A and B are shown apart, each in its own frame.
Chain A
Amino acid sequence: AQSVTQLGSHVSVSEGALVLLRCNYSSSVPPYLFWYVQYPNQGLQLLLKYTTGATLVKGINGFEAEFKKSETSFHLTKPSAHMSDAAEYFCAVSEGTGGFKTIFGAGTRLFVKA
């Protein structure tokens, strides 16, 4: 069965600094991997996803993530944080062949300091 671990329930960065949110997964088959974002008082929306092909995937708002099979990781990065990036970020895994449910991590709340 698949599982997801997000390292750090809270991350604080200064505006303009690098954003790095860590996600490790386990899956018995090739996974599909996702990052979702939840802005304050809003629903969850997809930020980016990896299914097959290129391991570096780009999403909305300048975010990107790299699938590293050897490290079972799918860390989310953004070169320069903006105040509007303050939100909660969820990593998720879904087994890519025959598996059904999508499992989410506990979430990481990103704070951006002026």
Chain B
Amino acid sequence: GAGVSQSPSNKVTEKGKDVELRCDPISGHTALYWYRQSLGQGLEFLIYFQGNSAPDKSGLPSDRFSAERTGGSVSTLTIQRTQQEDSAVYLCASSPWQNTEAFFGQGTRLTVV
């Protein structure tokens, strides 16, 4: 299991509910990214963690979105009070150091109904 693992792979939720998306990065990778890919859109940067530094949250689209990374490893992206426009594929990636190759997980497809 050397790759980036994301769970769940698919999530259908009702509008207004909270959801949590999980990412297990590659062991030893210090950098972790969350991106969002909407239909017909590119990859939208959400948040970046690097080691013990304060995360770069500049891409989070609203205060309904938050993320944490525990122990420098697993990360959870939380979306509160989901809206239909939150429907997208949420991708997690990890990297052994900044500015080198990012290894992507398969993503979580979120559908808000």
Task: Assess whether B43 is in contact with A90, with CB atoms less than 8 Å apart.
Answer: yes
Number of A interface residues at 8 Å Cβ cutoff, please give it. 24
Q: Which residues of the partner chain A approach B31 to less than 8 Å between Cβ atoms? A: 100
Residue of B42, B58, B101 near A34 (CB, 8 A) is B101
CB of B104 closer than 8 Å to a CB of A: yes
CB of B56 closer than 8 Å to a CB of A: yes
- Per DSSP, chain A at the interface is strand
Number of B interface residues at 8 Å Cβ cutoff, please give it. 23
Chain A: CB-nearest residue to B44 = A104
Q: How far is the CA of A106 from the CA of B35 in the complex (A)?
A: 12
Q: List 21 A-B contacts (CB under 8 A).
A: A32-B100, A42-B106, A43-B91, A43-B105, A43-B106, A43-B107, A44-B43, A44-B93, A44-B104, A95-B99, A100-B50, A100-B56, A101-B56, A101-B58, A102-B99, A104-B42, A104-B43, A104-B45, A106-B41, A107-B42, A107-B43
A contacts, CB < 8 Å to B? 6, 32, 34, 36, 42-46, 49, 51, 90, 94-96, 99-107
